[in-house]
């Protein structure tokens, strides 16, 4: 890609917007999409084309049909001439030099803009244009997915089509979605982790669901067992979230009664990349909050719900008041079971993996013996990937499908 940028190197004149396609064995060839007008810079050219793409969706569809893999802009910023490109994965490529010099500096990676102090707005606009003109990267090997029900499909779903299959009603007053994976015989984890059950297809759906969430909700046991860390999103994925009115990253909230968490763990590390991730939210009862250390207060934000145990009804209400309306619960089984018993789940997205493990272990929900969770569920959609993973999306049929009253957790 750096060689292709070097080919476009041109000092003086208006900025240039280019698309780059790479389809081996065909050579990689940059194509000029547009030239700016005199007096405008790369930022103005990108802004103009973003406005056109937002108004006319056909522009993006045409470029995707042409096989665009990356978008580049060249021009002058702060006395430097640069050629700056980004591909569908969010990898950046930069060739730059001084206005009156002959030396060129080349660099590539996922943090080029931050390392070279390019304007953040330049990266944000280019990333959104990459998303609109090039689209997401192709699915990983083994993750091709097709429709099963209500209509069987004969063609693999692309990322936009898969997104439509999991789209939430808009606007939504509040939606709690449980995402889980299970073996054929109902096992949800092996040695406390779901890693043995997941697959490339499951990760594709899981990542898509997370990408559209306002907040990710987890139990403390899951954070400890999975070594749960920050959500990694590419620059085009962040651009897509922002274009849809979402913050750059979903917030993360952990339900914990005792605050027994490793503050040196991945979740509490400083943000990575140009967009700062929000501090984790720890949902705790008042008794635990009263004894919280200074280190906890510095590493996370405390949200008090309940006196001696976490009141999930109150917690969900408080989260919604803060604007977190699309909540995705990642488990574990204890938290999922409590949400089910409290009648707080609106949707369940479960992957049935083609494994028969025949060992002891948890289901996707856990709870004490006694009254089963109430309410009715209906199959909204089912999908199947090439490895035999079955993706089931269950929703509530409406107010009549709710239990008469949520039990106390």
The pLDDT of residue 80 is 82
User: Does 277 map to a domain?
Assistant: yes
- 153 & 83 share domain: no
Q: What is the DSSP letter of 28?
A: P
Q: Which of 142, 139, 214, 211 is nearest to 173 (CA)?
A: 214
The pTM for the full model equals: 0.90
The pLDDT of residue 273 is 56
Q: What is the DSSP letter of 163?
A: H
CB 148 within 8 A of CB 384: yes
Helix (H/G/I), strand (E/B), else coil: 99: coil
What is the DSSP track for 287-304?
HHHHT--HHHHHHSEEEE
Q: Considering only 85-89, 118-122, 167-171, which range has the smallest mean pLDDT?
A: 167-171
The CATH number given to whatever domain includes residue 326 is 3.40.430.10
Q: Which of 60, 2, 70 is nearest to 236 (CA)?
A: 70
230 pLDDT above the threshold of 60: yes
- Helices of type H across 39-135: 42-55, 57-65, 112-116, 120-133
The pLDDT of residue 405 is 42
- 362 & 241 share domain: yes
Distance between first and last Cα of the chain? 56
Query: For strand 390-395 and strand 347-353, is the pairing parallel, antiparallel, or unpaired?
Result: antiparallel
- pLDDT mean across residues, the chain: 88
27 falls in which pLDDT band (50, 70, 90)? low
d(CA 307, CA 309): 6
The pLDDT of residue 269 is 87
Q: Considering only 63-67, 96-100, 106-110, 176-180, which range has the smallest mean pLDDT?
A: 96-100
User: Does 44 map to a domain?
Assistant: yes
pLDDT 10s digits, 371-386? 788 888 999 999 999 9
- 87 & 192 share domain: no
User: Does 407 map to a domain?
Assistant: no
- 99 & 238 share domain: no
Q: What is the total count of domains within the chain?
A: 2
The pLDDT of residue 406 is 38
3-state helix, strand, coil in the chain (%, to 5): 30, 25, 45
- 245 & 265 share domain: yes
399 falls in which pLDDT band (50, 70, 90)? low
The pLDDT of residue 275 is 65
Q: Whole domain around residue 55: which residue ranges?
A: 2-133
- 194 & 103 share domain: no
Domain end position, chosen among 76, 106, 133: 133
Q: How many CB atoms lie within 10 A of CB 26?
A: 9
31 falls in which pLDDT band (50, 70, 90)? confident
- 239 & 365 share domain: yes
CB 201 within 8 A of CB 142: yes
User: Does 342 map to a domain?
Assistant: yes
- 64 & 162 share domain: no
Name residue, tokens 């719900």.
Answer: 305
Of 271 and 216, more confident: 216
- 333 & 289 share domain: yes
User: Does 139 map to a domain?
Assistant: no
The pLDDT of residue 234 is 93
d(CA 209, CA 214): 10
Of 372 and 184, more confident: 184
Q: How many CB atoms lie within 10 A of CB 251?
A: 22
Of 168 and 98, more confident: 168
- 160 & 106 share domain: no
54 falls in which pLDDT band (50, 70, 90)? very high
Domain end position, chosen among 133, 165, 180: 133
User: Does 394 map to a domain?
Assistant: yes
- 279 & 369 share domain: yes
User: Does 82 map to a domain?
Assistant: yes
246 falls in which pLDDT band (50, 70, 90)? very high
State both tokens at 109: 């990676």
User: Does 369 map to a domain?
Assistant: yes
- 280 & 393 share domain: yes
Q: Which of 399, 405, 336 is nearest to 374 (CA)?
A: 405
Query: Which residues is 29 bridged to in the sheet?
Result: 21
Return the sign of the alpha-carbon dihedral for residues 341, 343, 344, 350.
positive
């Amino acid at each position: 890609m750096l060689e292709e940028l070097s080919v476009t190197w041109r000092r003086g004149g208006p900025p240039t917007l280019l698309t780059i396609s790479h389809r081996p064995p065909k050579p990689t060839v940059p194509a000029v999409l547009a030239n700016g007008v005199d007096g405008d810079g790369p930022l103005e050219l990108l802004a103009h084309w973003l406005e056109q793409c937002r108004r006319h969706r056909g522009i993006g569809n045409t470029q995707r049909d042409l096989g665009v893999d990356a978008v580049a802009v060249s021009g002058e910023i702060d006395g430097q001439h640069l050629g700056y490109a980004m591909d569908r994965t969010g990898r950046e490529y930069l060739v730059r030099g001084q206005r009156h010099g002959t030396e060129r500096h080349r660099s590539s990676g996922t943090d080029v803009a931050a390392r070279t102090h390019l304007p953040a707005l330049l990266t944000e606009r280019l990333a959104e244009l990459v998303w609109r003109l090039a689209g997401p990267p192709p699915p990983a090997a083994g993750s091709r997915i097709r429709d099963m029900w209500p209509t069987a499909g004969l063609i693999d779903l692309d990322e936009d089509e898969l997104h439509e299959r999991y789209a939430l009603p808009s606007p939504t007053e509040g939606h709690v979605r449980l995402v889980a994976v299970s073996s054929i015989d109902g096992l949800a984890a092996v040695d406390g982790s779901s890693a043995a059950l997941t697959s490339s297809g499951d990760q594709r759906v899981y990542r898509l669901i997370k990408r559209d969430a306002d907040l990710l909700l987890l139990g403390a046991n899951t954070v400890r067992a999975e070594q749960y860390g920050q959500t990694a999103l590419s620059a085009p994925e962040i651009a897509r979230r922002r274009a849809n009115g979402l913050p750059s990253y979903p917030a993360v909230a952990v339900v914990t009664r005792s605050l027994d968490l490793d503050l040196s763990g991945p979740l509490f590390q400083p943000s990575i990349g140009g967009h700062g991730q929000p501090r984790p939210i720890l949902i705790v009862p008042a008794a635990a909050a009263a004894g919280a250390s200074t280190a906890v207060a510095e590493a996370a934000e405390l949200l008090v719900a309940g006196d001696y145990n976490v009141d999930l009804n109150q917690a969900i209400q408080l989260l919604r008041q803060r604007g977190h309306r699309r909540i995705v619960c990642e488990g574990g089984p204890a938290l999922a079971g409590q949400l089910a018993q409290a009648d707080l789940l609106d949707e369940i997205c479960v992957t049935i993996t083609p494994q028969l493990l025949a060992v002891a272990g948890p289901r996707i929900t856990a709870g004490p013996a006694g009254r089963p969770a109430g309410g009715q569920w209906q199959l909204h959609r089912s999908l199947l990937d090439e490895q035999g993973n079955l993706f089931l999306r269950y929703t509530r049929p409406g107010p009549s499908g709710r239990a008469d009253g949520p039990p106390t957790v």
